[in-house]
Amino acid sequence: MRPVKRFVSRLKWPAVLGILTVALSGCGNYFSSRASVLAPAGPVASRELSLIQISLYIMLVIFVVVMGLWGFALIRYRARRNDTSAVSASTGDTRLEILWTVVPLLIVIYLTVLTVQTEFYLTRRPNPTTSLQVSVTGHQFFWQFDYPGLGISTIHNLYIPVGEKVNLTLTSADVIHSFWVPELAGKTDAIPGYHTYMWLEASRAGSYFGECAQFCGVGHYNMHMTVIALPPAQFQTWVKSMQKKGAASGTAWALERGPLPVSS
Amino acid sequence: MAAIAEVVGTEPRRHSQSYLMGWLTTADHKRIGIMYLLAATFFFAVGGLEALMIRIQLSSPGNTFVTPALYDQLFTMHGTTMIFLAVMPLFIGFINCIVPLQIGARDVAFPRLNALSLWLFVLGGILLNSSWFLGGAPNAGWFNYAPISLTPFNPGPGIDFYDIGLQLAGIGTLMTGVNFIATIINMRAPGMSLMRMPLFTWTTFITSVLILFAFPPFTVNLFLLMFDRLMGANFFNIAKGGNVLLWQHLFWIFGHPEVYILILPAFGIISEVIATFSRKTLFGYDSMVLATIAIGFLAFTVWVHHMFVDGFGPYVNSLFAITTMAIAVPTGVKIFNWIFTMWGGKIKFTTAMLFATGFIPLFVIGGISGVMLAMAPADFQYNDSYFVVAHLHYVLIGGSLMGVLAGAYYWFPKITGRLLNETLGKWHFWLLMIGFNVTFFPMHFLGLLGMPRRVATYSAAMGQAVAFWNLVATIGAFILAISFLFFFYNLFKTLRSGEQAGPDPWDARALEWAISSPAPVYNFAKTPLVRGRDAWWVEKTEGDGHLRSAEPEADPHEEHAHHGIHMPTGSIYPFLIALGLMIAGYGAIFGLLLLVAIGLVLAFFSIHRMIVDEDPGEIVQPVGGDGE
Ligand code: HEM
Ligand SMILES: [Cu+2]
Ligand SMILES: [Cu+2]
């Protein structure tokens, strides 16, 4: 390992520190994206993020403790020259073993409670009579959204009102897809022959990038969508205009073919 | 292979046999183990090249290094190869080479069945990989979900290669499981009680049980898919009343135990290596055994954690979240026991020990992300994103492969008689640690930044961070690849001119170190008498440094008559059975019924011959005294 040591000692430490400082000060840029789980814009994604954060912090504590013991053992008990002391004859220690069974068990029980609470919160379906209903159909390789109560269909773009729970019923016309809008909610699969359910809500107006997360064929990488959250009044205007278009074209269903969200 | 055979010139060859026939017909567990290791190393290199192509493609947004169609084949073949043809057979190779020695046996319970396992794996693997040249490789991911794997969405032959190739290899694996259950139950030397078995033997035993219960559902799945694709059945066709989730359930009922099949042997290896180089007996042996059994049992109760987003509802998801998190407890017990095995010891940092200690932080990170994934509502965000890719590589490379490499540096001298070069080994280790973490740690970020897995490319509009971490991961992948160049060069160099190891180069603890390196064909000249845990260490510290024999003292007057050792002879039929099934497989894939018939006739003829031919056995004379 000589060469490595020499290499390390020759590194220009001020320069290394400089690069690190630059990288860290640009921190925001390295942890943000167009569709980040870390930037939730609605209650579902927020609950999911807080679960992620709590578990991460607990796990970090565990990691530090385990690595502390590990590092201590490696350094303290490495073989040294001219050390003639005997190795420990210990073959086990019941109290210690009970300790490191029970403590993890307690942690796991705590995490389980959080998990079950969140799970039930997220899968409690909003009242269908008061919330907007949308049927989502996955196709190779695009998303179709039907608003059964409103007589509107769209492709690629899902329009929703801000501040209202939206009830999604998902299925697929061909293979399995997975509906994912990281800033609004985690995934639910769209499975042929099944109807699956999820709800989401946007707390702020804006457009949110969504994708298909389940591998579904050559176009999988490009199966995107946009969720457009409009203030309720504007949403009503959009509904009216779509219905008018539908009436003009002689069908009850209006189709809005949004632009395909940016691909490469 | 020539170089290895030179070193491992252990098998007495019948005069009429050519060199090639010697290997094709062998039933010696050590030679079979070596062939497993060689073939799996080859497939590992193939899978590694596929991974590099994946990383080149993803190094920048909108890259066009490969087409999406080719990309899909690359990630499918990479995953399938690494799991079924590289890591699992690498473990089976070590199991073959080492377990019979650790329990003081002459061979496995069914030596010819063992040869059949090997050839089914090798020929199944070749069949699967030949798809690249025969119409396109499979392209629906290693878990090959229906219905994208069905003919309407996937008309090419790729999926059929997946199906038939894994059926062949899978039957081989299943027979390995049966073989080692029988071997470990029946063939232990006198005194080797269950609770004296080395941990590697224990984990092999539990792994074999997992194989026995996990592979049948997978085989059933592959058969159903074959019926659907090749014979017009409708098990997964919803238009005819089939069900696509049937595949997912059967797959993961197999798939989760499979990941434990890939980690338990590593746990065993890590236990042996850490105890040896800390110069202490394993801490908490009983709880290690118990934890292994608990993990093996729980492994069958968690499969729906791969299906949290299938919309099964809060009760199902909660239940499987709980069982999944429960696995973390026995896993944690193991980690602490390893650390406390080192505690109070005198740790010698050989390359094998570096890999075994390096295993701990990497596997802990993988276990941590595993617990995070087990929290179902959080998994709604992680699922099918790069976060899962990070998790599975921390457990599979940081866990399983680190175990394989610790085992490689540790047992290479036992298998070949020569010591791998330590300097090259340390370069391998440090470059691997750097390359691995640089490649896979950022993938946690990528998942959280919204990058789904299995995308052939991503758009620059995803943001600068996504492009940045992808580039970092690609750079890491090349460092990782370079680390393996050191390893391969080390293997090559050592086989040509490596230092002779002698029987016990590490001053180790288990029985395999009591006999010469490489082990003689008959393993132990006399069946040893085991007098404690760490059987060889007991003889070195409390005995006279020689194994006690469990056989009655030979009558000096009859010296020659009884000194021979009865060994099984080889047979060409295992190879021919596998070959026949492979030919039938090609026939099925291409709809050539004649070929199917020829293949099946060859296979059944060979099976028949293998059954009716009596194995006369061979009498081998032990040489020297080192087997005692
Ligand atoms: C503490 C122990 C572990 C826990 C709690 C755990 C949990 C999980 C969970 C919940 C998933 C599903 C994630 C998803 O698809 O959304 C997963 C995926 C996976 N795990 Fe683990 N895991 C553990 C250990 C292991 C080990 C030891 C291995 C193998 C050596 C392993 C290999 C995998 C693989 C290969 C996948 C991905 C399968 C795929 O989708 O292709 N895990 N793990
Ligand atoms: Cu899709
Ligand atoms: Cu699993």
DSSP run (H or E) holding B82: none
Task: Give the distance from CA B566 to its chain's centroid.
Answer: 31
For β-strands A166-172 and A132-139, DSSP reports them as parallel
* Best CA proximity match to B172, nearest among B30, B35, B50: B35
For residue B578, being part of any structural domain is answered with no
* Residue B624: predicted pLDDT: 56
pLDDT tens digits, B492-502:
999 999 999 99
Q: What is the pLDDT of residue B446?
A: 97
Residue B9 pLDDT > 50: no
Q: What is the pLDDT of residue A69?
A: 97
Q: B162 with B247: CB under 8 angstroms?
A: no
According to the model, what pLDDT value does residue B310 have?
96
Whether B595 is in a domain gets the answer: no
Structure tokens at B280: 């202490």
Exposure of B470 in the CB half-sphere (CA atoms within 13 A): 30
Q: Are strands A185-190 and A157-161 parallel, antiparallel or unpaired?
A: unpaired
Cβ-based neighbour number of residue B400 at 10 Å: 29
In chain B, the percentage of residues whose pLDDT exceeds 90 is 89
Amino acid at B278: S
CATH class of A132-255: mainly beta
Q: How far is the CA of B433 from the centre of ligand 2 (A)?
A: 35
Q: Answer yes or no: is pLDDT of B259 > 70.
A: yes
Binding-site residues, ligand 1, Cβ < 6 A: B 143, 259, 262-263, 305-306, 324, 327-328, 331, 367, 370-371, 373-374, 379, 382-383, 388, 391-392, 395-396, 399-400
B positions 349-368 inside 8 Å of A (CB): 349, 357, 360-361, 364-365, 368
The C-alpha atoms of residue A81 and residue A216 are separated, in whole angstroms, by: 60
Total domains in chain B come to 1
Nearest to A108, CA basis, from B392, B363, B399, B372? B372
Residue B447 lies in a domain: yes
pLDDT digits (tens, 9 = 90+) for B508-538: 999 999 999 999 999 999 999 999 999 999 9
- Give the tens place of pLDDT for each residue, B350-384: 999 999 999 999 999 999 999 999 999 999 999 99
- Residue B262 maps to which CATH number? 1.20.210.10
Q: Which residue from A248, A263, A125 is spatially nearest to A195, judged by alpha carbons?
A: A125
Of the candidate ranges A242-256, B216-230, B399-413, B422-436, the one whose mean pLDDT is the lowest: A242-256
**At residue A3, does pLDDT exceed 60?**
no
The mean pLDDT of B293-307, rounded to a whole number, is: 97
Average pLDDT over residues A43-54: 97
- Name the fold adopted by A2-80+92-123: Helix Hairpins (1.10.287)
SS3 content of chain B, % helix, strand, coil (to 5): 70, 5, 30
Which residues in chain A are classed under CATH 2.60.40.420? 132-255
A180 in contact with B, Cβ within 8 Å: yes
Of B15, B203, B177, nearest in space to B109 by CA: B177
User: Is B604 inside any structural domain?
Assistant: no
Nearest ligand to the C-alpha atom of residue B321: 1
Name residue B116's amino acid.
L
Domain interval for residue B134: 2-571+613-620
Q: Using the mean position of ligand 1's atoms as its centre, give its distance from the Cα of residue A109 in Å.
A: 20
Tokens of B170: 């899978």
Please identify which residue in the block is written with the tokens 């590099």. B52
Which pLDDT does position A262 carry in this prediction? Answer: 46
Q: How far is CA B266 from the centre of its chain?
A: 9
Contact (Cβ atoms closer than 8 angstroms) between residue A156 and residue A260: yes
Of the two residues A113 and A243, the one the predictor is more confident about is A113
In tens, the pLDDT along B14-53 reads 555 788 898 999 999 999 999 999 999 999 999 999 999 9
| Model confidence pLDDT, tens digit, residues B48-78 | 999 999 999 999 999 999 999 999 999 999 9
Residue B607 included in any domain:
no
B65: Cβ contacts below 8 Å, ≥ 6 apart: B53, B56, B57
Residue-averaged pLDDT of chain B:
93
| pLDDT computed for residue A21 by the predictor | 61
Is residue B130 within 8 Å of residue B589, measured between CB atoms?
no
Q: Give residue A198 CA to ligand 2 midpoint distance, Å.
A: 17
Strand stretches in B235-367, DSSP E:
none
**Structure pTM?**
0.93
pLDDT of residue A254: 62
Query: What is the per-residue pLDDT for B628?
Result: 37
> ipTM of this predicted complex?
0.92
Query: Residue B591 falls within a domain, yes or no?
Result: no
Compute the distance between CA of residue B349 and CA of residue A75 in angstroms, rounded to an integer: 11
In the predicted structure, residue B165 carries a pLDDT above the cut 80: yes
List, as one string, the DSSP characters of B491-554: HHHHHHHPEE--S-TT---SGGGGS-SSPPTTS-SSPEEP-SSSHHHHHHHTS-SSPEE-SPPP
Residue ranges, CATH 1.10.287.90, chain A: 2-80+92-123
Token pair, residue B283, equals 């801490």
Tell me A260's DSSP state: P
Is 70 exceeded by the pLDDT of residue B173? yes
Residue of the CA atom closest to atom 19 of ligand 1 = B392
- Please confirm whether the linkage preceding B377 is cis (ω < 30° from 0): no
